Amino acid sequence: VWKDCLMVIREHVTEQSFKTWFEPIIPYKLINKRLIIQVPSQFFYEWLENNYVKILRKALDYAIGKDGQLEYTIIIDSGGQKAAQKKVETPKEDSRVIPKNPFEIKTSSDIIFDSQLNKNYRFENYVEGSCNRLARAASVAVAQKPSVTAFNPLMIYGDVGLGKTHLVQAIGNYIEDQPGNNKLVLYVSSEKFTSQFINAIRDNSLQDFMNFYMMVDVLIIDDIQFLAGKEKTQETFFHIFNHLHQSGKQIVMTSDRPPRELSGMEDRLLSRFKWGLTTDIQIPDLETRMAIIQNKLATEKAEMDMEVVEYLANCVDSNVRELEGVLNSLIVDSALLQRKIDIELAKYRIKSLVEESQKAISIDKIIDVVTSHFNIKVADIKGKTRLREVVLPRQIAMFLTKEYTELSLKAIGYHFGGRDHSTVIHAIQTINDLQNQDRELQMHIKEIKEKLKK
């Protein structure tokens, strides 16, 4: 049993700490589910309890089970004196307390288990607006009482750059920063999860991979749309998900689209989401965007007139990340030029950013992105076919070429297999008209635009 414990421990501490704190431990007795270990001193025992209680609990869970208990025996001397036994209550779920550290030693400093959280993403700097009210409230509730609320799993979806990652990381940071916290929090993007999974298969260490994830108390998994179509990864995630959920662990997920639009995701996985709460984040309204700018200015200790704040909030209206990007460049501009961020500077910056983003998008790139988005051939889009599967993408590509490049209608026609300019006008009009009624088309265009900007 102790060997099993050591195996789990070894994965979570440095080689140095392992040598110092775990090798000297002597497994003494196992009575039913009570494991008694011998440690060299009172100090040693306190240190273990203060720094490694989470890891020890994990190790016990793994080697004995949830009801496993740990007791310490302190070896007073080697001269046959009866060892003093110190019974240590191994706390139950949710009521685990880390004893106060009498030596005022910085705790947990050498535990390797890294939650992968970015400490800057917090509730305190997350601006609330009607766009995110429910998602934020649910996140706060989960942060305060992980696994206890009905929001398990909590699933937050919304477009890129609207604050999903910020919000779910704030949950993790809040939990980690609770005094005496002993919950293992883990943040992982679905991309990383997938590549870890693939590596685990390659290295024959799938079991380790699963054990690692099953040990977590709060699993935050970002951008799960990335798992779509990855059958094996999903299957593994499904097992981990079930295990965690059944053991009363909290799961938080994000996605760039609502679950029903996650094509390529297994139904049995999607139906699990209904156990908890699914909620969205919308584009922030003008006032919220202005508040976000001001919040950011305050952290950066920068200043800006209200007029400029409003101007920026109006110009960049659909993506908080872009808004922050513009703001950051302005802050840099103003430092370099030693000049206040005024409306001229702001206008100049916005104008050059727009030009830059458009310059980078060439007709070849548009054709490339559109054809791969619709999975058709470049030769077809430039060719004669009148098949609907090709005609619509062709019209979209022409429409976008007009929007993003300086090319004349005639030039656009030329690039699309020598069509004349009236065909191009017709294409642009068709897409313009359709766009207002056809939600699916809107989605396509939106996705293509995002890909173009990458």
The minimum distance between CB 166 and Mg ion, in angstroms, equals: 8
Give the one entry of Mg ion, ligand ADP, none that residue 161 binds, where binding means its C-beta sits below a cut-off of 5 to 8 angstroms depending on kind: ligand ADP
**Contact positions toward Mg ion, by CB under 5 A?**
165
Residue 63 tokens read as 């080697």
Task: Tokens 């699309």: give the residue.
Answer: 416
Residue 74: strand pairing partners: 39, 84
Task: Tokens 């590549």: give the residue.
Answer: 195
DSSP letter string, 210-243:
HHHHHT-SEEEEE-GGGGTT-HHHHHHHHHHHHH
The minimum distance between CB 168 and Mg ion, in angstroms, equals: 8
Q: Which of 92, 93, 72 is nearest to 84 (CA)?
A: 72
Give the one entry of ligand ADP, Mg ion, none that residue 331 binds, where binding means its C-beta sits below a cut-off of 5 to 8 angstroms depending on kind: none
The minimum distance between CB 308 and ligand ADP, in angstroms, equals: 18
In whole angstroms, give the CA distance from residue 203 to residue 213. 17
For Mg ion, which is the closer residue by CB, 114 or 191?
191
In whole angstroms, give the CA distance from residue 65 to residue 80. 33
Q: Which helix (DSSP H) or strand (DSSP E) does residue 84 occupy?
A: strand 84-86
In whole angstroms, give the CA distance from residue 70 to residue 36. 6
**CB neighbour class for 453 (10 Å; exposed up to 12, middle 13-18, buried from 19):** middle
In whole angstroms, give the CA distance from residue 222 to residue 171. 13
The minimum distance between CB 132 and ligand ADP, in angstroms, equals: 6
Residue nearest to Mg ion (CB): 165
In whole angstroms, give the CA distance from residue 184 to residue 186. 7
**Contact positions toward ligand ADP, by CB under 6 A?**
125-127, 132, 158, 160-166, 292, 295, 320-321, 324
Give the one entry of ligand ADP, Mg ion, none that residue 321 binds, where binding means its C-beta sits below a cut-off of 5 to 8 angstroms depending on kind: ligand ADP
β-pairing, 69-74 with 34-39?
A: parallel
Give the one entry of Mg ion, ligand ADP, none that residue 19 binds, where binding means its C-beta sits below a cut-off of 5 to 8 angstroms depending on kind: none
Number of other residues whose CB lies within 10 A of the CB of residue 42: 14
Give the one entry of Mg ion, ligand ADP, none that residue 163 binds, where binding means its C-beta sits below a cut-off of 5 to 8 angstroms depending on kind: ligand ADP
Q: What angle do CA 101, 105, 107 make, to 5 degrees?
A: 80
Check whether 276 is labelled as a binding-site residue: no
The minimum distance between CB 193 and Mg ion, in angstroms, equals: 14
Angle, in degrees to the nearest 10, between helices 320-337 and 343-359: 120
β-pairing, 34-39 with 84-86?
A: unpaired
For Mg ion, which is the closer residue by CB, 46 or 223?
223
For ligand ADP, which is the closer residue by CB, 153 or 158?
158
Residue nearest to ligand ADP (CB): 163
The minimum distance between CB 168 and ligand ADP, in angstroms, equals: 8
For ligand ADP, which is the closer residue by CB, 42 or 329?
329
Number of other residues whose CB lies within 10 A of the CB of residue 195: 12
Q: List, in sequence order, every beta strand (DSSP E) within 111-184.
A: 154-157
Give the one entry of Mg ion, ligand ADP, none that residue 265 binds, where binding means its C-beta sits below a cut-off of 5 to 8 angstroms depending on kind: none
At position 398, the amino acid (one-letter code) is: M
- How does DSSP classify residue 253? E
The minimum distance between CB 8 and Mg ion, in angstroms, equals: 31
For ligand ADP, which is the closer residue by CB, 48 or 142?
142
Check whether 165 is labelled as a binding-site residue: yes
Give the one entry of Mg ion, ligand ADP, none that residue 115 binds, where binding means its C-beta sits below a cut-off of 5 to 8 angstroms depending on kind: none
Give the one entry of ligand ADP, Mg ion, none that residue 126 binds, where binding means its C-beta sits below a cut-off of 5 to 8 angstroms depending on kind: ligand ADP
For ligand ADP, which is the closer residue by CB, 310 or 322?
322
The minimum distance between CB 251 and Mg ion, in angstroms, equals: 17
DSSP, collapsed to helix, strand or coil, labels residue 376 as coil
The minimum distance between CB 441 and ligand ADP, in angstroms, equals: 23
For ligand ADP, which is the closer residue by CB, 90 or 132?
132
Decide: 193 and 239 in contact? Cβ < 8 Å: no
For ligand ADP, which is the closer residue by CB, 152 or 165?
165
Q: List, in sequence order, every beta strand (DSSP E) within 244-334.
A: 250-255, 277-280
For ligand ADP, which is the closer residue by CB, 163 or 413?
163
Binding site residue list:
161, 163-165
Binding site residue list for ATP:
161, 163-165
